[in-house]
Structure 1
Amino acid sequence: MNPTEETPTHRGRIVMLVHREIHNDSRVQKIAVSAAEAGWEVFLLGRAPRSSTRQLGGATVHMLRPATGVALPRHGLHRSWLRHPLAYPPNGIAGYRREWISSWEASINERRDVSRYAGGRPPAWLRAESLVHKVGRRWVRLRTNQLTAARQPRRHHGPIDRGYAALWRALAGSRSWRRLDPTLWEYELTFGPTIDRLKPDLIHAHDFRMLGVGARAAMRGRLKGRQVKLVWDAHEYLPGIRSWVDNVRWKQANMDHEREYARYADAVVTVSDTLAEMLRERHRLPRTPHVILNAPSTAEITADGTAPSLRAQCGLAADTPLVVYSGGAAEQRGLRTMVEAMPLLDDVHVAFVVNAPDSPFVTALREQAAALGVAGRLHVHPFVPHDQVVPFLSSADIGVIPIHHYPNHEIALITKFFEYSQARLPIVVSDVKTMAATVRESGQGEVFRAEDAADYARAVRAVLADPARYRAVYETDLLDSWTWEAQAKVLDSLYSQLLEPAS
């Protein structure tokens, strides 16, 4: 990669870091595009199976191929003496032994056939060799099976793993992640060289995995005489998330990683006032983080006639009740509650606009709907581009947020909340703290008890009985600050404070 030199027309060079692909991350895309429109030179670095470069508005997107080696499971690279003492070493010898034992069997069979063809019986020594071969074949099978078991992904939840994590936490404190989850170094190997070549004035690190990468790159830049600033964008509260991997070490390692590098951020932004206070207290930040809501942009809100219609894609008439859930499909998102309530809501159709329409979880929901006799009223659709979401959803009657009680579900107004609001849909939300309080205060919808299908059905019936009452809330100034343009001004002001000298 040969990045272009900064031109005088740019206010400064910003490098944004994302640990994954960006096509489903509307927050990341909007930040990059709006920063470029405000005059910053923006490079957005993500991670994908293949390297590529493209433009996103005025921002340049570089998708980087992950570094390999560090992220490989360690149990697949060394002997497992305690759990599988008879396993072959993971060096290819198992395959050789299987071929060798099969070749030996073929040799025995060939010599036996020659003896019979000559009219005699196989000699005693050949029968003894055949017996030895059978024992050897069982031995090879046993050792091969042990190797296969040793290579299976382990559930790191046993006392050994918990003790290992506690030991390194006691010995190394917040630096323990280097032993508990060394795969975090893969991000350094993937992103570090490219960041250094781009020589940014400011690094915007999205979420906890990119924080360490951004902090180390900023330090390297400062050591070379450049005044590099670091903005950490905390998308969620790490202690409150479900572990991404089945490993007792993972969450502790990532919390320690975040704790070590949070102090290097020149500024912190996040998604809600509640989370801002939690981060300030947890990391003893000198200032409360700035709140940047992931609200739709004006362009996303205004339909230009090219965006598809959810109702049309479902094949429904205008007077057919339609409720929609838009977002990730997972058990904790509460979609099962919506399916369970369908027999209680005659004639109400349900649409799921999800990231993986053919996933095992969504397939199970379809099967559940069929068992309940309501399959004809359940519609599943893939995501549409983020700039089409609001007009796409606007033809529904209700937007639903049925999420379960998890710490991170309690503390923010999530993306779909703003999308539903800008689509002017009444909202039916489970009684998670922040969103339930907002809906009750604004009057834009109804609240139900999480995971309670009967109470969810009550809330839906209440809205459908008088939808104009709930939609009327949107005729006030409620939505004025729930646009991306308002959020982009806050972020642009922050960049300016960090980079532009005071007059």
Structure 2
Amino acid sequence: MLVDNGVNGDSRVQKAARSAADAGWEVILLGRSPVREERHWQLGAAQVRLLAMPTPLAKRRHEFRRAWLRWPLAYPPTGIAAHRAQAVKAWKADLALRRAQLAGGGGLRVTALTAQELAAKVTGKWVSLRYWSLTNARTRRKLRSPWDRAYTWFWQAMQGDRAWRRLEPGLWDYELAYGPVIDELAPDLIHANDFRMLGVGARAKIRAAAAGREIKLVWDAHEFLPGIKPWQDNGRWLPAHRAHEREYAPYADAVMTVSDGLAELLQREHGLARTPDVVLNAPAADHGELVPDAPAPDLRALCGIGPDVPLLVYSGAAAKQRGLDIMVDALPELPGVHVALVVNKPAGPYVSGVLARAAKLGVADRVHALPYVAHWEVVPFLSAADAGVIPIHHWPNHEIALITKFFEYSHARLPLVVSDVKTMAQTVRSTGQGEVFRAEDVADFARAVRAVLADPQRYRAVYDRPGLLDEWTWEAQARVLDGVYSRLLPGRPGPAPASSPAADEQSTPVGAEA
């Protein structure tokens, strides 16, 4: 099983690896180490290996050159900028020490020291200007200039789907880190999570075939690539990754994804002969007592509020398109209501901006930024809130799936307040488990919150309907996953080994968001 991250924080991948191992498959999950060394641990009966991955190809060639025309004062990108900045700091520190040693003194030595301090100050300004110029030379080129667009067009015209090799060569860094390990393991089946790992898995399949071995490739598409807001703001990222995906999609023996809508889009996009199997990002109904000595976290205690204080919770990744701002902007219209943001980066720049906005509005004491908890603790942790909020904006990928937090809020039996993105709004309206508001409309959001808080039991009662939550569990999805594997490799696996929840040797707290 392949994933392009550090595993911790990716609940879908962790659950897939664990449940496949519980079904009897020998599972080795390869991820990317956040440090220079490999990391290893057990996830139930599954082995986790995080591989060291140098990324020299991720840098563009222009980042190694001086931008003489655009930033003539910039330092060369050799590391000299950091050296000069640190040297000036050391110089100033030395002058400050000498000033302390001459305290109360006078004469020529003090005059000379004052002149040196002035020189250090001027030099510091000059170094800072050149360092700032270098930073801008590296970061402000968005590959959207006429020359850059012509470069992108030329390689697309010349190489078609193979053009990603020129437009996004950093994809080779994944191949060079993962490929040799996969070849050594000689797997029967590769489960490639998302678009980067699709290429890694497909190339391993091709090499194995040349060596006389057969590998079955499962592509697990978490998102619809054409609908992604590019993580890098440049004109090459999306066309390069789409080309990479188109080149290797035909090698997949089976495709699975997170929703029926995304399955239909993938089938049309890649001309798939079979509609992808759907494995929802649903939470596990029962994780067992994975960490018996660790007390379960208390959401309200972490917020410092009592049981009667109205509390809205958002759980998941923090980004502008996730719409967290609206929860703060509405607080002046919602007296006494508190907001808990359970996010991947509670001290990150986006959340810091949200908290600054709360301070400006005078509601900072009612907004609480908290870190992720372990994935098996998410549902009980969230259940202490009065409502779960999903305020995401209208983006193609937001319209087509029921995302992880939707299922987690549901199993926590929370009334929902969701924006009017297509699939989620339709589901909430049909079940009656919450209220829908117009995305990015503060007044309508406040209306929906007031409606939910006025009669929470009305919405919670929906979860008592027989069978509603049964299919929204990972146990049901794991049967689909096992069915895909068994279809590709009939007659396997052997008898399933007993998997004790306590076998998680490094159950590092992970996130609520797949």
Q: TM-score, normalised by structure 1?
A: 0.83
Match of 1:467 among 447, 451, 456: 456
Amino acid across the alignment from 2:360? A
Counterpart of 2:381 in structure 1 is: 392
Residue-by-residue CA offset, 1:236-292 (whole Å, 9 max, x unaligned): 011111111121011100000001100110000000000000000000011000000
Amino acid across the alignment from 1:56? L
| Cα distance in 2, alignment partners of residues 94 and 325 from structure 1 | 41
Match of 1:40 among 6, 16, 25: 25
Query: Is the aligned partner of 1:177 residue 2:164?
Result: yes
How is 1:75-114 mapped onto 2 (pairs within 5 angstroms)? 75-78=62-65
Contact persistence 1:301–1:391 (CA under 8 A): no
Name whichever of 148-157 and 30-39 sits farther off.
148-157
Query: Is the aligned partner of 1:402 residue 2:391?
Result: yes
What is the DSSP-based 3-state SS (H/G/I as helix, E as strand, rest coil) of the residue aligned with 2:380?
helix
Give the drift of 1:346.
Answer: 1.2
| Cα distance in 2, alignment partners of residues 143 and 363 from structure 1 | 28
Give the drift of 1:201.
Answer: 0.3
Query: Is the aligned partner of 1:487 residue 2:477?
Result: yes
- Structure 1 residues without counterparts, runs of 5 or longer: 1-15, 99-139
Contact persistence 1:300–1:391 (CA under 8 A): no
Amino acid across the alignment from 2:410? S
Counterpart of 2:225 in structure 1 is: 238
> CA 1:343 to 1:152, structure 2 compared with 1: closer, same or farther past 3 Å?
closer
> CA 1:263 to 1:143, structure 2 compared with 1: closer, same or farther past 3 Å?
same
How is 1:432-471 mapped onto 2 (pairs within 5 angstroms)? 432-471=421-460
Amino acid across the alignment from 2:483? S
Give the drift of 1:161.
Answer: 1.3
Amino acid across the alignment from 2:187? P
Counterpart of 2:368 in structure 1 is: 379
Amino acid across the alignment from 2:7? I
> CA 1:297 to 1:146, structure 2 compared with 1: closer, same or farther past 3 Å?
closer
> CA 1:360 to 1:497, structure 2 compared with 1: closer, same or farther past 3 Å?
same
Counterpart of 1:51 in structure 2 is: 38
> CA 1:471 to 1:146, structure 2 compared with 1: closer, same or farther past 3 Å?
closer
> CA 1:23 to 1:167, structure 2 compared with 1: closer, same or farther past 3 Å?
same
Residue-by-residue CA offset, 1:334-389 (whole Å, 9 max, x unaligned): 11111010011111111111111111221222222122222221111111011100
Amino acid across the alignment from 1:25? D
Counterpart of 1:478 in structure 2 is: 468
Residue-by-residue CA offset, 1:69-127 (whole Å, 9 max, x unaligned): 222331133465765689887678999999xxxxxxxxxxxxxxxxxxxxxxxxxxxxx
How is 1:205-284 mapped onto 2 (pairs within 5 angstroms)? 205-284=192-271
Contact persistence 1:390–1:420 (CA under 8 A): yes
Residue-by-residue CA offset, 1:131-160 (whole Å, 9 max, x unaligned): xxxxxxxxx999999877655562212121
| Cα distance in 1, alignment partners of residues 281 and 12 from structure 2 | 6
> CA 1:286 to 1:376, structure 2 compared with 1: closer, same or farther past 3 Å?
same
> CA 1:484 to 1:95, structure 2 compared with 1: closer, same or farther past 3 Å?
closer
Give the drift of 1:301.
Answer: 9.5
| Cα distance in 2, alignment partners of residues 355 and 92 from structure 1 | 31
Amino acid across the alignment from 1:482? W
Give the drift of 1:171.
Answer: 1.5
Match of 2:420 among 425, 431, 447: 431
> CA 1:223 to 1:241, structure 2 compared with 1: closer, same or farther past 3 Å?
same
Contact persistence 1:300–1:390 (CA under 8 A): no
Counterpart of 2:299 in structure 1 is: 310
Contact persistence 1:19–1:47 (CA under 8 A): yes
Amino acid across the alignment from 2:452? V
Residue-by-residue CA offset, 1:386-416 (whole Å, 9 max, x unaligned): 1100000001110000011111111100000
Contact persistence 1:42–1:59 (CA under 8 A): yes
| Cα distance in 2, alignment partners of residues 247 and 205 from structure 1 | 26
| Cα distance in 2, alignment partners of residues 96 and 383 from structure 1 | 37
Match of 2:310 among 307, 317, 321: 321
Paired-residue identity, %:
63
> CA 1:232 to 1:319, structure 2 compared with 1: closer, same or farther past 3 Å?
same
| Cα distance in 2, alignment partners of residues 73 and 269 from structure 1 | 33
| Cα distance in 2, alignment partners of residues 23 and 286 from structure 1 | 34
> CA 1:146 to 1:327, structure 2 compared with 1: closer, same or farther past 3 Å?
closer
What is the DSSP-based 3-state SS (H/G/I as helix, E as strand, rest coil) of the residue aligned with 2:170?
helix
| Cα distance in 1, alignment partners of residues 213 and 352 from structure 2 | 53
Contact persistence 1:300–1:389 (CA under 8 A): no
Q: TM-score, normalised by structure 2?
A: 0.82
What is the DSSP-based 3-state SS (H/G/I as helix, E as strand, rest coil) of the residue aligned with 2:236?
helix
| Cα distance in 2, alignment partners of residues 402 and 146 from structure 1 | 38
Residue-by-residue CA offset, 1:405-463 (whole Å, 9 max, x unaligned): 11111110000000000000011000000000000001100000001111001001111
| Cα distance in 2, alignment partners of residues 290 and 195 from structure 1 | 25
> CA 1:82 to 1:387, structure 2 compared with 1: closer, same or farther past 3 Å?
same
Counterpart of 1:330 in structure 2 is: 319
Contact persistence 1:192–1:217 (CA under 8 A): yes
Match of 1:361 among 350, 353, 357: 350
| Cα distance in 2, alignment partners of residues 416 and 141 from structure 1 | 44
Contact persistence 1:301–1:423 (CA under 8 A): no
Contact persistence 2:58–2:168 (CA under 8 A): no
Counterpart of 2:13 in structure 1 is: 28
How is 1:62-141 mapped onto 2 (pairs within 5 angstroms)? 62-78=49-65
| Cα distance in 2, alignment partners of residues 42 and 175 from structure 1 | 31
- How many residues get paired? 447
| Cα distance in 2, alignment partners of residues 149 and 27 from structure 1 | 38
Amino acid across the alignment from 1:27? R
| Cα distance in 1, alignment partners of residues 44 and 131 from structure 2 | 54
Compare relative contact order (CA 8 Å, sep 6+) and give the higher one, 1 or 2: 2
Residue-by-residue CA offset, 1:40-64 (whole Å, 9 max, x unaligned): 0000111122311111111111111
RMSD value, Cα: 2.8
Residue-by-residue CA offset, 1:469-492 (whole Å, 9 max, x unaligned): 111110012101000000000000
| Cα distance in 1, alignment partners of residues 132 and 363 from structure 2 | 46
* Bigger Rg over Cα: 1
